[in-house]
Structure formats: C-alpha cells, structure tokens
Copies of this chain bind each other. A is one copy, B any other.
Amino acid sequence: MDSSLENLIRRLGRLPGLGPRSARRAVLFLLKNRDRLMLPLAQELHDIARTVRPCVDCGNLDTADLCHICRDDRRDKSRICVVEDVGDLWAMERAAVFRGRYHVLGGTLSALDGRGPDDLAIDRLLRRAQAGEVVEIILALSATVDGQTTAHYIAEKLAPSNLDVTRLAHGVPVGGELDYLDDGTLAQALKARAKMN
C-alpha cells in the first residue's frame, strides 16, 4: 500500500471506535467521496482544531470565549450542573431536561491516576457558586468510586455556603431489566423506592 495511505489509516485507526479494519474501510469510503466528504472533513478538522476552545466560565467547548449556553439569557443562572467532561454535558443537553448552566470539572479526583483537586476546575466552581444568583449545585458525576469521591469532596467544600447541593438519583435505568442490573444499582433502587399511591 502507498505509504501516505498507510499513514492515514494508522492515524484514523487511533480514534476511539475505529480499529485498523474500519479505518481501511473509512479511507476507501473517503476516497470515493472526496469533494462531498473528504475535503470538507479536512477543512473542518483544521478549522475546529484552531478555533474551538473551553468556555472561560463553564469549560464547555465552543468557538467563542463564552459558550452559547453561558451566553443564553433564557437559561436559568441559579442552577449549575457539574459534569466530568464535555461529553457528559452533551449527553445532558441531548436529554433536554436541564435549563440551567454547566460546570465542566475536567475529570474526577483519582488517587490511582494522581489527579488531585488542583487538576480539576473545582476552585473556579467554588467562585461561581459564590456569585450570589446561584441557589443549587447539581453534581452529575459518574456513579463510580472516583466520581462519588469527587462529589463528596465538592459537597464538603460547598457546605459553608447556603446552597442546595444535590446529586442525580440512582436506580433502575428506564427500559432496563432487573435481571441485567448489578447488585449495587438494585440496592440503591430499593433504598430510594418511591410511593405509587
């Protein structure tokens, strides 16, 4: 194979979700759609690598200093939803159930990976929380050990303030079958059972 094609396939194959086989198929598909797909994709990758940056307020990715969510005056300034990374923010936005603002931590505390409070955007969150208009901080972190450790750390830091600090509910995923659920989730779902009448 031509070495430039080999390089392209190797580079594409590094993307999550693409292995060598699908990278080869993708390259052939791109070459069959040069004007409609390959050249525009090259241009977009170049432009976005140069222009997209974290929002100075919340850490969301955007082409402006202040992201379109922080710019949007119709969004509730009194509630901040804390997420680990931008992918989680996108997931919340897709669900379209939250009309407040976000705060992207940039990960979780992790003893194993040597990530401490200074490696996350926690100080900036505490400053935002003191801005006066904020009434609730929703910790939408992973239900993992690291995620929950991080949530407790932040909740403790926020304790002196008069803010509501909440976390997402644990329980049976909508559409989930009990048979496939892990014991931890089942235990949480039973503990937090809700009255039906």
Contact (Cβ within 8 A) A41 B11: yes
A17 x B8 contact (CB < 8 A): no
A1–B45 Cα gap in the complex (Å)?
16
Given contacts A8-B44, A38-B45, contact A30 B15 (CB under 8 A): yes
The answer to whether B30 and A45 touch across the interface, beta carbons within 8 angstroms, is yes
CB neighbours (8 Å) of A61 from chain B are 2, 5, 31
The reply to whether B63 and A4 contact each other, CB–CB distance below 8 Å, is yes
Within 8 A of B (CB), among A63-81: 63, 67-68
Q: How far is the CB of A170 from chain B (nearest CB, A)?
A: 23
Contacts of A67 in B (CB 8 A): 2
Tell me the count of chain A residues lying within 8 A, CB to CB, of chain B. Answer: 47
24 pairs, CB–CB < 8 Å, chain A vs chain B: A2-B52, A2-B63, A2-B68, A4-B48, A4-B63, A7-B44, A8-B41, A11-B37, A11-B40, A14-B37, A15-B26, A17-B22, A17-B25, A17-B26, A18-B18, A18-B26, A24-B90, A25-B87, A30-B45, A30-B49, A31-B48, A31-B61, A39-B45, A43-B46
- Those 9 A-B pairs whose CB atoms lie nearest each other, nearest first: A17-B22, A42-B45, A42-B46, A38-B49, A15-B26, A34-B49, A2-B62, A8-B44, A16-B25
